[in-house]
Structure 1
Amino acid sequence: MRYLRVAVHQDPADRHPMHQFVVEREGYTVSRLLEYTPPVEGQGAFLFHVEGPVEPYRSALDSVVTLSDWELSPCPDESFYLYVREQLRGRDQELVGAFTQPGLVGVLPVEYRADGTVRLTVVGPAERLQAAVEETPEGMDVEVLEVGEYGARGLGAGSDLTERQYEAVVAAVDVGYYETPRAGTTEEVGERIDCAPGTAAELLRRAERTVMAEVASSGPF
């Protein structure tokens, strides 16, 4: 079972308006698609986590004509969750279609970065991964970041962590955040996983809460 991680480079005209907003505005680093429901007749529901201030992002949403509904939920640090219902644009449907064709499984999150790239990971047979790259819409360049044998972590304590929480925990262990005395910082964790220190701290808090709840519910034996 193989996996492929790519960065898709789009022209500004092809980007979603809110991705272009993240590219153009100071203070925004990445918008991550965390969950979604499959589109019905082109319309889907999506949950994002956006690293950056709520304003002026909130005001910009009103100008996106493809949105039928949206809500924001601010986080303690300078980030927020975004729920949207949206009619997918033609170019968005073409990109989604290339990487969700039969035989492929998308691994969330999908990252819409301030450098203008869309970063995503898919799992499946090697020939289907190659087909996805070849069928990327014309005018969008695909940069292959990683390819190899997929080795997801097994079930057990921590299996309910999100992929992003798991990345934060791995980075924290690597930098010595859990050593006694503590050797690493949330700033170093954030640098490893490309996010703000406050976001790294929040990811670790949520991961710790999830793992402790699993341990408490399963008992000592």
Structure 2
Amino acid sequence: MKHVRVRITARGGAGDIHPMYGVMTEASFVERATAIQWNYTGDALGILHYVVGDADALERAMQEIPEVVGYDMERIDERSCYVYVRDATTDSLQKMFSPISSGGIIVVPPIEYESDGTVVFSMFGPDDEVQDAIEGVSVPVDVTIEAVGGLAGTTTAIEAHLTNRQRRVVEIAVELGYYDIPRTASQKDIAAKLACAPSTIAEHLRKAESRILRAQFA
């Protein structure tokens, strides 16, 4: 069995593969997006996203996309929301998604969208099937293997090492830009958001970062 961390780059063609793929990776009003869970049936795709950005602009965009046959949005705050989207698939999306959704392969959540049109995700399964899936993606994208290892290196497994409070602090740190380059938020900003002392935030971050790194490299 093999776990691989895969990066798929559309080179500016994400919208040609599927309009919602283009929105999540290339739209200026989406700052960050993650596919939390999904169900792919070949001709349809139900997918739950966590999105940071302009929710109003996102909703307007979805209303203009014929392939979006239904959606539901739950706003978390002014800059983030959960969005469930029911998509009709395109031929290109099927050619990209079908090879990694067949046989004994499991795609381990989440799928992380990036602003340059790439998606990053983890796959787990028999070595030969994982290799065949990667080679079977026939749409014009670049497929890069970033890491090979065991399940302990997946995002879900790493998150399991965190307490609920540590996970919440890290989520807010990411949301506010604490891990951006250059950094756009401080521990004081995170503390203000969570109504606690900066020293408490520092302790939670130190312990969370230690657990994440130990899980990744142990």
Distance apart, 1:168 and its partner CA: 9.5
What amino acid maps onto 1:9 in structure 2? T
Aligned to 1:5: 5
Q: Distance in 1 between matches of 2:103 and 2:139?
A: 20
Cα distance in 2 between the residues matched to 1:139 and 1:44: 20
Quote the offset at 1:100 in angstroms. Answer: 1.3
2:179 to 167, 182, 191: 191
Deviation at 1:21, TM superposition (A): 2.7
- Partner of 1:18, secondary structure, is helix
TM superposition shift of 1:151: 2.4
Q: Which has the higher helix share?
A: 2
Rounded Cα–Cα distance in structure 2 between residues aligned with 1:80 and 1:42: 26
Give me the TM-score of the superposition, normalised by structure 1.
0.67
Q: Which residue of 2 aligns with 1:17?
A: 19
1:81-100 paired onto structure 2 within 5 Å: 81-100=82-101
The gaps in structure 1 that reach 5 residues or longer are: 154-161, 179-184, 203-207, 209-221
Q: Give the superposition deviation at 1:107.
A: 0.2
- 1:163 matched to which residue of 2? 156
| Offset, 1:81 | 0.6
Equivalent pair of 2:17/2:90 in contact (CA under 8 Å): no
The 2-side partners of 1:115 and 1:164 are apart by 26
Report deviation, 1:186: 2.6
User: Residue 113 of structure 1 corresponds to which residue in structure 2?
Assistant: 114
Superposed counterparts of 1:10-89, under 5 Å: 10-11=10-11, 12=13, 13-39=15-41, 42-76=43-77, 78-89=79-90
Aligned in 2, Cα 1:114/1:15: closer, same or farther, shift over 3 Å? farther
- Provide the rounded CA distance (Å) in 2 between the counterparts of 1:57 and 1:19: 12
Summarize the Cα distance change of 1:22–1:96 in structure 2 as closer, same or farther, 3 Å threshold. Answer: closer
User: Unaligned stretches of 5+ in structure 2?
Assistant: 195-203, 205-218
Alignment deviations for residues 153-209 of structure 1 (CA, whole Å, 9 cap, x no partner):
9xxxxxxxx939928948x97xxx79xxxxxx93698518xxx9799x79xxxxx9x
Separation (CA, whole Å) in 2 of partners of 1:59 and 1:165: 35
Pick closer, same or farther for the CA change 1:52–1:141 going to 2, 3 Å: same
TM (norm. structure 2) is 0.68
Residues 19 and 113, structure 1, Cα contact 8 Å, conserved in 2: no
CA RMSD of aligned residues (A): 3.6
> Is the 1:110–1:120 Cα contact (8 Å) retained in structure 2?
yes
Q: Between the two proteins, what is the percent identity of the paired residues? A: 21
Equivalenced residues, count: 180
